[in-house]
Amino acid sequence: MLARLGRVVLLVSPADEEAVAPLLDHVEMVAANGSDGRQLVRGFALQLANMAGDPPPFIAMAPVHAGLVVFASGDATAEIDGQHVTGRDSLAWVERVIRWPVRSVTARVGEGAAPTSTLLNLMRGVVQAGGFALSAGASSPMPARLEGAEPTPMATAADASAEKASSEESLATAEMEKPAATPPLVPPPPLASPAPATPPVPKRPQFEMEPERFESMVLGGPGADIEDDDVPVPLPVVSGAPRPRSARVDADSPQVKGVFCKNDHFNDPRMLFCAVCGINMVQQTPVLVDGKRPPLGVIVLDDGAVFQLDGNYLLGRDPDSDSMVRSGESRGIPLSDNQNTISRVHAGIELRRWDVVLVDNGSTNGTFYAEPNSAQWTQMAKRGEHVLAPGTRVRIGHRTLAFNTHRGS
């Protein structure tokens, strides 16, 4: 099975839907976020590390600034400009960066079971294949052109007469300008005696510069020229436990309890690592303080639209008509499909302290979610709630979206 979404390519051996769907979902996520090869590798590494069984053989590619990122797992092989990349002999996976420029790519995967028909979608760029080959086409060279050359116009009868007259005039001029006979050679006059040598110019007298006198002065101690008030005094040493820091408080922003890392980044107190710098949070004693909650991640729609989770959202066919959106308590994300299966205000996403909560608004056709690395969809109860984990996918009608975040746990 071959999928090309954005600038990301996935070639996977046909297998059951439960094994292939998480790989395809991750490719869609990476393509929606800009087709970054580093995100592709990190996501696949996380999936394979948490996968219970053996994943199907697959190979994926995406660009980075330095070159083309190649991720191979299992019986999957790629040949890129003579460089061989395969996951066949690896117990986990193989990742490589092929430096630009890349001129030819050939990839193939081992055979597997029959492909799942529901995953094949020509409109999304997912087709049945066991390999592919790409090459950079050489552009045909432009015809050479002489520098300064101009096209020669067709000669006419008047031009021929003018040319004949011009040639006769040139012959007459050449006869007139013909040099006369060379005169006989005359012997040169005898050499004169050499002129007397010029007396040398006297040099100007050079005066020696007298060096400046050096005067010593005392820089420190008794008798120094520096005033006592100018001498820097070391800062006093503060004893006792450090005072708790407080985050910047914004009157309009929600305040939550959090902790600072060693580098002054405000974090969820449940996190083991800082979400900004990644430092271990157990290096110092946590002190709970009130502060402004940072964005908790992003929502990525199936069409590539991205929404930052710094407030509450309502999702549906016409969420802007709801009083929560009109009052400014929430923001609307309009969703529509061709089957009219989405309610006017279908569901909501609420931020509660440090959690992202999905809420069903009593929709007619229900709200579904799939946990990270799972292809199983679970329907929520009407007006039910579910706390979203990073990587969770949500289905509303025939539209899907995903919750993603860089914050670690």
308-365 pLDDT per residue, tens: 999 999 999 999 999 999 999 999 999 988 788 999 999 999 999 999 999 999 999 9
Of residues 111 and 18, more confidence is placed in 18
Where a domain ends, among 104, 135, 166? 135
Looking at the fold, whether 15 and 118 belong to one and the same domain comes out as: yes
Residue 238 domain-assigned (yes or no): no
Cβ distance 35 to 17 under 8 Å? no
For residue range 210-221, list pLDDT tens digits in order: 555 555 555 555
Looking at the fold, whether 15 and 42 belong to one and the same domain comes out as: yes
Looking at the fold, whether 373 and 279 belong to one and the same domain comes out as: no
Looking at the fold, whether 362 and 280 belong to one and the same domain comes out as: no
What are the DSSP calls for 9-31, one per residue?
EEEE----HHHHHHHHHHHHHHH
Domain range for 272: 255-292
Please list, in sequence order, all residues whose beta carbon lies within 8 angstroms of the beta carbon of residue 13, skipping any fewer than 6 positions away.
1, 56, 57, 58, 74, 75, 76, 109, 110, 111, 112, 130
Looking at the fold, whether 47 and 107 belong to one and the same domain comes out as: yes
Looking at the fold, whether 7 and 127 belong to one and the same domain comes out as: yes
Residue 154 domain-assigned (yes or no): no
- Give pTM, 2 decimals: 0.44
Looking at the fold, whether 308 and 390 belong to one and the same domain comes out as: yes
Residue 118 domain-assigned (yes or no): yes
Looking at the fold, whether 287 and 352 belong to one and the same domain comes out as: no
Residue 40 domain-assigned (yes or no): yes
Residue 147 above 70 pLDDT? no
Looking at the fold, whether 265 and 359 belong to one and the same domain comes out as: no
Looking at the fold, whether 368 and 270 belong to one and the same domain comes out as: no
Looking at residues 74-87, what average pLDDT do you find?
94
Looking at the fold, whether 274 and 368 belong to one and the same domain comes out as: no
**Site of tokens 């552009």:** 139
Residue 192 domain-assigned (yes or no): no
The pLDDT-based confidence of 134 (bands split at 50, 70, 90) is confident
Residue 85 domain-assigned (yes or no): yes
pLDDT at residue 403, rounded to an integer = 94
User: Looking at the 3D structure of the chain, how many domains does it have?
Assistant: 3
Looking at residues 255-274, what average pLDDT do you find?
89
Residue 81 domain-assigned (yes or no): yes
Q: Domain holding 354: CATH number?
A: 2.60.200.20
Looking at the fold, whether 347 and 275 belong to one and the same domain comes out as: no
pLDDT at residue 200, rounded to an integer = 59
**Site of tokens 């190649």:** 70
3-state class percentages of the chain: helix first, strand second, coil last, to nearest 5? 15, 30, 55
Token output for 173? 């001029």
Where a domain ends, among 90, 119, 135? 135
What are the DSSP calls for 212-256, one per residue?
PPP-----SSTT-SS-GGGS--PPPPPPSSPPPP-PPP-TTSPEE
Where a domain ends, among 292, 317, 351? 292
Question: Which percentage of the chain shows pLDDT scores above 90?
Answer: 39
Please count the CA atoms within 13 angstroms of the CA of 91 that sit on its side-chain side.
0
Residue 142 domain-assigned (yes or no): no
